[in-house]
Amino acid sequence: MNSFTVSEGSSGSRVDKAVSEEFPSLSRSFIQKLTESGMVLINGKAAGKSSKVKEGDTVSVSLPEPVSLNAEPEDIPLDIRYEDGDLLVVNKPRGMVVHPAAGNFDGTLVNALLFHCGDSLSGINGVIRPGIVHRIDKDTSGLLIVAKNDFAHNSLALQIKEHSFTREYRAVLCGHLREHEGTVDAPIGRSEKDRKKMCVTDKNSRNAVTHYKVIEEYRDFTYASLRLETGRTHQIRVHMAYIGHPVAGDTVYGPKKPALPGGQCLHAGLIGFIHPRSGKYIEVSSELPDYFKSFLEKINN
């Protein structure tokens, strides 16, 4: 049982938010499942899904014992850009799912990691997401970091929470942006109209900040660099659609007839972090994949 006392700054927050701030390595969805299972207590009593905390409350979280993962190791080639005893950085191709879910129990990045790493993966985010500190969408390509132990996972999750973890993307956006450089600061939450989608909203949302910079303009598109200050689900896709310039190929937040088939033209090209054990800053980059370069050539003609 892990316990903490609610501070003044967290008073009035929902219990899942207070727990996520105290234990940044735990995802909000995982905390909500723990709450629904009666494993989150406020002053010794089971917390409800919408329970709020106040200053001085004692919140206790009981983490379940690890259970066997249903996902099987698969010998799937991995494009590893950095690896040591604590973590690895992998370059994910577009079209690959990160972790098993309904309809995708094999062929995922986790299946490949289980084969490559064996038992050397952090178990903090549950058995379906071993080692996964953050993720990128199926149809987004690029870099993500994987923790081999809980020590590394906690350190990296804290860096993400404190915005000291660098994540830069490249994207092709529809249309031309009014300003060549700027920031989108708009909270993101789940859409009430479509629970599979996220949206900019003030209701049950979390702050989200995306910085963008135009690299080159084409007739109907803009090639841009984007840096995440926060890491909300679908953040870049939602923010760019919100300002009227959805990511090319994104049929969820953009035009239903995409100029680019196969998913959005979005690539996680750079990540930078403080190594949990050595304390040294490490930066890993990834070149534009072929699908991205081909689309740039197409729109340049």
Domains of the chain, first to last: 2-61 (3.10.290.10), 65-150 (3.30.2350.10), 166-268+293-300 (3.30.2350.10)
DSSP string, 224-273: EEEEESS--TTHHHHHHHHTT-PBTT-TTTS-SS-SSTTS--EEEEEEEE
Q: Are 81 and 127 in contact (CB under 8 A)?
A: no
pLDDT in tens, 98-116: 987 756 668 899 999 999 9
Residue 261 has pLDDT above 60, yes or no: yes
Establish whether 57 is a catalytic residue: no
pLDDT tens digits for range 24-56: 767 788 888 899 888 899 999 999 989 999 999
Residue with tokens 């890491």: 231
Write down the pTM of the prediction.
0.78
Average pLDDT, the chain: 91
> CA angle at residue 67 from 144 to 133, to 5 degrees?
15
Task: Calculate mean pLDDT across residues 234-253.
Answer: 97
Q: Is the pLDDT of residue 283 over 80?
A: yes
Q: Supply the pLDDT for residue 184.
A: 98
Range ranked top by mean pLDDT from 17-21, 119-123, 297-301: 297-301
User: In this predicted model, what pLDDT tens digit does every residue of 198-227 receive, in sequence order?
Assistant: 999 998 888 999 999 999 999 999 999 999
Q: 153-195 pLDDT, tens per residue? A: 999 999 998 999 999 999 999 999 999 999 999 999 988 888 7
Residue type, position 206, single letter? R
Instruction: Catalytic residue, from 57, 137, 139, 250: name it.
Output: 137
Is 65 exposed, middle or buried, given 0-12, 13-18 or 19+ CB atoms closer than 10 A?
exposed
Structure tokens of 92? 């994910």
